[in-house]
Structures are given as C-alpha cells and as structure tokens.
A = this chain, B = another copy of it.
Amino acid sequence: MGAAQSFRDMCDREKNTNVRLSLPAVCIVWQTSMIILFGVFIRYNPEADPHWAEYKKTHNLTDIENDFYFRYPSFQDVHVMIFVGFGFLMTFLKRYSFGGVGFNFLIASFGLQWALLMQGWFHSLDYTDGKIKIGVENLINADFCVASCLIAYGALLGKVSPVQLMVLTLFGITLFAVEEYIILTLIHARDAGGSMVIHTFGGYYGLAISWMLYRPNLDQSSRLQGSVYHSDVFATIGTLFLWMFWPSFNSAISYHGDGQHRAAINTYLALASTVLTTVAISSFFQKHGKLDMVHIQNSTLAGGVAVGTAAEFMLMPYGSLIVGFCCGVLSTLGYIYITPFLEKRLKIQDTCGIHNLHAMPGVIGGIVGAISAAGATVDVYGHEGLVETFDFKNEFEHMVPTIQGGHQAAGMCVAICFGIGGGIFVGAILRLPIWGDPADDNCFDDEVYWEVPEDEESIPPILQYNNHMQNKDM
C-alpha cells in the first residue's frame, strides 16, 4: 500500500491543480476583451432605446406592445433554468455541490456575454452602422446558447478544472453560433425549443469531449461518485425548476400570440407524460420495485427536450403526450443500459447521463420536428398560420411543408456533426497538460478547487468519543 500511495502522491504532484494564476488570468483577460468588444459592437435595439418614444408613434404601437412585455416573463423563467435548474441538477454528488452549482454559475456568466456577440454578428447586426442591436430576445438567445455548454459540462462534471470549462465554453459558444446560423438561417430549419441546436449539439459536444478525456482509472474516485441523501434533495430543486419552466424555454422565442401559447401547452403536456413513464420504467427495472432518484431527477425532463423543435407546430395535445411517453421510457432505459455501455465499451464517461437527457431526446425531437413539419397542411394551420409558423417568407415564400421536413432533417445532421466534430477538436485542446485538471483519485471532490468548511456534524462524535476515552482513562 505504501508504494501505491507514494506513486499516487507523485501523480498528484505531477497533476498540479493549482489554478491560482491561470483562472484569474483567464477571467480578467476574457472579461476585459468582452468590455472592448461590447464597446465596439453592442448597442440597444429600438425597443430598449430612449428613441422608443418616437419609434412607437411611427410604428403605431403602444408601450405594452414593446417586445419586453411579450418575452420578459419567459426570459426570467429561462434564466432560472440556466442558473438554478442546470446548477442544482449538478449538486447531486456527495462532495461536488460547490463545483456543480459554482462552475455552472461561472461559465454561464461568461458564456452569455460571448453569445451576445457571436449570435449578434450572425443575427442582429445592423448593417447601417455595423453595430449589434440587442433587446430581450437576444438575452434569451444568449441564455439558450449557454445551455449547450452547460449540457456538455454535465458529462464532465467533477473531472475538469474551471479553466478547462472556460475554454470549453469559449469554443462551445463559437461553434454553437455557427451551427445555429447554418441550421436556422441557411438551411431554414425551425427549432423553437432547440432540440437540435441546443440539446443535440450540446449533448454530443460533451460526450465527444468526455471521450477525448477518458480516464481509465476513474474508479480511484469511486468513493465520491455517488450522492448522499441531502445532495439528492438539492438536485431535485434543479430538476423541478427545469421541469416547471420548460414551457417557457420552448415558447420564449416563438412568434407572438398563438405560437407562444401553443408551444407552452405542448411542452406542459409532454413533460407530464414523461414523469409517469419514467416512474414506471424506474420501478420495473429495479429490485423490489424501488425508484431510483437518478431517473426521477433526469429522465422526467426528457419530454421537454424532445418536444422542443415541434413545440410551436400543430403537434396536437395527444401528440405531445406520445412524445413524452416515449422519451420517459427511452431515457430511463438509457440510464439503466446505455450509460454503462458507453463507459465500458465506448470509453465515454458521462457523469450526469447527458446522453439520456439531452443527446438522445434531442435527436428524437429533431425527428418529431421533421415529421410534423412534413405533415403540415393549410387545412390545419390556415394560410397565414402556415406562413407564420414555418416562416415561409422572403426567399422561402414558395417553400412547402414536405420539403421543410427535409430541411429539418438536414438541420439535425448538422447539429450532430458539429457536436461530435467540435467535441473532438476541443477535447484535443483540453488534453494539453496545462489546465490544472484533477488526478484520477481526486475527481468529484470540491477540496481541489474550493475552500471547503470543516463539517461539524461528522467530527464531534469522534471528539466526544476521544474525550470519553480520556475521561475513562483518568
């Protein structure tokens, strides 16, 4: 044991997890860059600018028709999903709650700034003055963009340093913006809730990075690779805020009126259905029919992912229930069979099971979107409704639903390719031995990057025991 220990100590010494210079440097340099780039490029759009007083008169609008009032409540719900939802979902490990919620906070805060720039250049550039004009819809899209990187973090939870996460986010946001531009603008696929652009891309991006960073000796940290009772309850906070606000996620950037309304209804129903099949499968595949908290925390959300693309389409209420039904089953089976398979055979270690919660349901969502787009008819949507829903305007004026279905499928493929390709590229960068990542026996441990308080509760008994012994000896 002494030899093994000293060898491990040596590895620890080689694995320098001290980020005292690299982390502050990255944060300060990148934040300074953001300030300069924002100074050069970013301004308010007409609805957030004081000239709105004149703008609303010329456009015959009232104050309440400012886009702020259409989207701000949904924006705040999405914001909660990003910071509390994703953050607390990752607190489930017994000694990585600080890292789960804290690093989520860090990379989301950086990512949304970079996303405003990247997405702005592609979608909100005002060619008259070369400035990006932002409003509440840009904030929502920035949060969406960040979500893809937080999904990727889920696969890597506990195994990477905060500096690696910052790098992952910088590249992830960049790839996202390009991929989104190709899928939404060039291919003209619709993706209101981001099944393809957010979940599929983010899921495969994270899995590919995890594959590149495979740790053969991760079992050395197995003592920390589980939950304790209260950390599971904390994670449930994340689950529920994601689950409850998912209708806002899928409807946040749908078009005004019936688009947002329908997207919220479809998502609400799909998620409800998912809960029942998740419980069914979790109970059926466990000894004695006991439920597994991991499934309840994660698979119950799969329906929201899978209904994302088609949320604003005429999926119909029963269609949403069917999508939710299937995703609950498949996602839970994924946790039982696919996650161990990925780890053993494909050497992909997926801490949070993002394959089952994001990648696979995202692909299902893309397929559901393609099918329901291809099946759209003027009868069901009305002429104006069809044009509005699928944005058959300008150069796509003569598009028809069947061809739109093909475009949706093409978008799906782009998302997968960007996810896997980007993940391999970024994973290669993250393998460089300069990022301060933990050793195999130090994973899943907040001690590495956080000042952790001594836990009173676990100490007194020993002390008291010792005192007791001393008293006895006297």
Q: Does A199 contact B (CB under 8 A)?
A: no
Whether B50 and A109, one on each chain, are in contact in the complex, defined by CB atoms closer than 8 angstroms, is: no
Given known contacts A65-B64, A268-B139, A272-B110, A456 and B94 CB-to-CB distance under 8 angstroms: yes
In the complex, residue of chain B having the shortest beta-carbon distance to the beta carbon of A320 = B38
User: Which of A65, A273, A276 has the most C-beta atoms of chain B within 10 angstroms of its own C-beta?
Assistant: A276
Whether B243 and A31, one on each chain, are in contact in the complex, defined by CB atoms closer than 8 angstroms, is: no
A272 to B146, CA, bound (A): 12
Q: Does A385 contact B (CB under 8 A)?
A: yes
Instruction: Tell me which of A16-24, A149-157, A354-362, A415-423 binds B.
Output: A16-24
In the complex, residue of chain B having the shortest beta-carbon distance to the beta carbon of A468 = B465
| A335 smallest CB distance to B (angstroms) | 12
A322 to B248, CA, bound (A): 31
Which residue of B47, B76, B279 is within 8 Å of A261 (Cβ)? Answer: B47
- Chain B residues with CB under 8 Å of A38's CB are 269, 317-318, 321
Whether A226 and B262, one on each chain, are in contact in the complex, defined by CB atoms closer than 8 angstroms, is: no
Whether A233 and B109, one on each chain, are in contact in the complex, defined by CB atoms closer than 8 angstroms, is: no
| A230 smallest CB distance to B (angstroms) | 6
In the complex, residue of chain B having the shortest beta-carbon distance to the beta carbon of A47 = B261
Whether B273 and A34, one on each chain, are in contact in the complex, defined by CB atoms closer than 8 angstroms, is: yes
Whether A42 and B318, one on each chain, are in contact in the complex, defined by CB atoms closer than 8 angstroms, is: yes
Instruction: Tell me which of A51-59, A122-130, A202-210 binds B.
Output: A51-59
Whether A51 and B382, one on each chain, are in contact in the complex, defined by CB atoms closer than 8 angstroms, is: yes
Interface string of A18-47 (1 = CB under 8 A from B): 111101110110111011101100111001
- Chain B residues with CB under 8 Å of A453's CB are 94, 226-229, 232, 293
A407 to B51, CA, bound (A): 24
- Chain B residues with CB under 8 Å of A279's CB are 23-24, 27, 106, 162
Given known contacts A64-B69, A277-B28, A76 and B230 CB-to-CB distance under 8 angstroms: no
Number of chain A residues whose Cβ lies closer than 8 Å to a Cβ of chain B:
148
Whether A269 and B113, one on each chain, are in contact in the complex, defined by CB atoms closer than 8 angstroms, is: yes
- Chain B residues with CB under 8 Å of A240's CB are 83-84, 87, 101, 105
Residues of A within 8 A of B (CB): 18-21, 23-25, 27-28, 30-32, 34-36, 38-39, 42-44, 47-54, 56, 62-70, 72-74, 76-77, 79-80, 83-84, 87-88, 91, 94-95, 97-98, 101-102, 105-106, 109-110, 112-113, 116, 134-136, 139, 162, 226-234, 236-237, 240-241, 243-245, 247-248, 256-258, 260-262, 264-265, 268-269, 271-273, 275-277, 279-281, 283-284, 286, 288-293, 296, 300, 314, 316-318, 321-322, 325, 380-382, 384-386, 388-389, 448-458, 460-462, 464-465, 468
CB-based closest 4 A-B pairs: A50-B385, A20-B289, A52-B258, A109-B275
Using A66-B258, A229-B455, A291-B450 as known contacts, list a sample of 10 further A-B pairs with CB atoms less than 8 Å apart, ordered by residue number in A: A24-B280, A50-B314, A63-B70, A64-B64, A98-B233, A102-B236, A113-B269, A136-B261, A136-B264, A462-B464
